[in-house]
Amino acid sequence: MGAGVIELENVSYGYGGGELLSDVSVQLQPGSFHFLTGPSGAGKTTLLKLCYGALLASSGRISAFGQDIARLDRDQMALLRRRIGVVHQDCRFLDHMTLAENVALPLMVSGRTDESRRADLAELLTWVGLGSRMDALPPELSGGERQRAALARAVILSPDVVLADEPTGNVDWEMSQRLMQLLIELNRMGKTVVIATHDLSLIRAAKSHVQARVLRISQRRLHLAGADL
Ligand SMILES: Nc1ncnc2c1ncn2[C@@H]1O[C@H](COP(=O)(O)OP(=O)(O)OP(=O)(O)O)[C@@H](O)[C@H]1O
Ligand SMILES: [Mg+2]
């Protein structure tokens, strides 16, 4: 086994109607930055779910932090989920709770509600530019505000890895650049980042700010894309 934080070895996956991903092998090195691209329905979200253990491979092996994730017990899986922050494509919130409460939810669940954590929460919301929207309810937020809240929630437990699934879906170019800036900052802080997106212009724009590798899913396989995006 290599030194990747997440490693896939000859992984295949299908939901039942034939294989969606075949023989996928990739290593995500600590501190690396990857884009994951491919057409709608290619399997980007599926591949991310395999990486954080929401789905188990039909064949092959997936390891995270040196452990085979198919062999983790419940507690180990819970620990893994804390080390991997996920920005979900649909970024759902609990509508009756404030933005701050929604972002703090992973803290509550892990029983970490002390004062220093609350200070972290305020700092984090300020960092994503939502310091003045802490008491807003999710239905009152714009698309860009929701995306930033989803990013804050994904990193509140200080994960080592951030998997962001279309983090700039439904926002304008300026907001997408702002979100990218936040993700690049997280990477500079040492986090391993993977961003699934079908937006090639986003990838092109980011490449002048960060050393990123581009993985592309096509015809069930994962390819390392060249510089010709
Ligand atoms: N739970 C499921 N059960 C059955 N099929 C599924 C399930 N989830 C996804 N699929 C199918 O698997 C394929 C890949 O889906 P996935 O969401 O991984 O694609 P994607 O690349 O993320 O697409 P998009 O760019 O639209 O987000 C699609 O054809 C989808 O319909
Ligand atoms: Mg998707």
CA distances from 153 to 88, 105, 216 (A): 10, 8, 27
Q: Is 40 in the pocket of ligand 1 (CB under 6 A)?
A: yes
The predicted structure's pLDDT at residue 39: 93
Q: Is 42 in the pocket of ligand 1 (CB under 6 A)?
A: yes
The chain-wide mean pLDDT, for the chain, equals 93
Give the whole-angstrom CA distance, residue 76 versus residue 73: 5
Residues 181-204 have pLDDT tens digits of: 999 999 999 999 999 999 999 999
The predicted structure's pLDDT at residue 114: 67
Q: Indicate the SS3 state at residue 212.
A: coil
Beta-bridge partners for 133:
none
Instruction: Decide: 157 and 149 in contact? Cβ < 8 Å.
Output: no
User: Ligand 2 centre and the CA of 47: distance in Å?
Assistant: 9
Q: Is 52 left (phi over 0), alpha (psi -120 to 50) or beta?
A: alpha
**What share of the chain in percent tops pLDDT 70?**
95
Q: Is 57 in the pocket of ligand 1 (CB under 6 A)?
A: no
Across the range 102-124, mean pLDDT stands at: 80
pLDDT reading at 113 higher than 70: no
Given ligand 1 and candidates 13, 21, 24, 44, which is best to mutate, with the most ligand atoms within 8 Å of its CB?
44
Q: Is 198 in the pocket of ligand 1 (CB under 6 A)?
A: yes
**Which protein residue's CA is at the shortest distance from atom 9 of ligand 1?**
46
Q: Is 20 in the pocket of ligand 1 (CB under 6 A)?
A: yes
Going by pLDDT thresholds of 50, 70 and 90, the confidence category of residue 117 is confident
- Range(s) within the chain of domains with CATH label 3.40.50.300: 1-83+159-229
pLDDT reading at 227 higher than 90: no
**Which protein residue's CA is at the shortest distance from atom 2 of ligand 1?**
15
The predicted structure's pLDDT at residue 153: 95
CATH 3.40.50.300 assigned to 1-83+159-229: yes
Residues 20-73 have pLDDT tens digits of: 999 999 999 999 999 999 999 999 999 999 999 999 999 999 999 999 999 999
Strand bridging mode 67-68 / 59-64: antiparallel
User: Ligand 2 centre and the CA of 44: distance in Å?
Assistant: 5
Across the range 225-229, mean pLDDT stands at: 70
User: Ligand 2 centre and the CA of 38: distance in Å?
Assistant: 10
Instruction: Decide: 200 and 227 in contact? Cβ < 8 Å.
Output: no
Total Cβ atoms within 10 A of residue 82: 15
The predicted structure's pLDDT at residue 17: 84
pLDDT reading at 1 higher than 60: no
Atom of ligand 1 nearest to the CA of 48: 18
Going by pLDDT thresholds of 50, 70 and 90, the confidence category of residue 3 is confident
What phi and psi, each to the nearest 5 degrees, are found at residue 152?
-60, -45
Give the whole-angstrom CA distance, residue 19 versus residue 221: 10
Instruction: Decide: 215 and 8 in contact? Cβ < 8 Å.
Output: no
Going by pLDDT thresholds of 50, 70 and 90, the confidence category of residue 228 is low
Q: Indicate the SS3 state at residue 184.
A: helix
Residues 86-102 have pLDDT tens digits of: 999 988 999 999 999 99
Q: What residue has token string 């990193």?
A: 155
